[in-house]
């Protein structure tokens, strides 16, 4: 990935983060809570790259539906959760390998995944 592309992605993520924070605080949420719960700039960049990779592989819709099925709590929810966590973990590893500057954000996001 080029330096220019990473700079652009970070600028877009910074705008998204600021907008999200402003919206939450204007809605009456405690600023400290909003700040703590809003993803960091590099986290947003990693999530954007993850979604781009899924889109390139024609898996974005399938991934989204599997995440929804995992949250729905049906009989296959645990299996959907394991499968989507495994897919996401592999994508995040690819991002860390391709863009070392994002490694900390990748591992921060990986921490919420259940992978063996």
What does the pLDDT look like over 5-51, one tens digit per residue? 999 999 999 999 999 999 999 999 999 999 999 999 999 999 999 99
pLDDT in tens, 80-89: 999 999 999 9
d(CA 99, CA 27): 36
Region of residue 73 (phi > 0: left; psi between -120 and 50: alpha; otherwise: beta) = left
Q: Report the predicted TM-score, pTM, of the whole model to 2 decimal places.
A: 0.89
């Amino acid at each position: 990935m080029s330096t220019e592309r990473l700079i652009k992605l970070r600028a877009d993520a910074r705008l998204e983060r600021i907008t999200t924070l402003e919206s939450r605080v204007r809605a009456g949420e405690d600023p400290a809570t909003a700040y703590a719960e809003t993803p960091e700039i590099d986290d947003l960049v990693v999530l954007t790259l993850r979604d781009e990779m899924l889109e390139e592989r024609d898996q974005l819709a399938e991934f989204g539906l599997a995440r929804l099925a995992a949250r729905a709590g049906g009989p296959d929810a645990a299996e959907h959760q394991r499968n989507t966590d495994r897919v996401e973990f592999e994508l995040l590893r690819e991002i860390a390998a391709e863009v070392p500057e994002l490694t900390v954000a990748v591992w921060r996001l990986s921490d919420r995944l259940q992978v063996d």
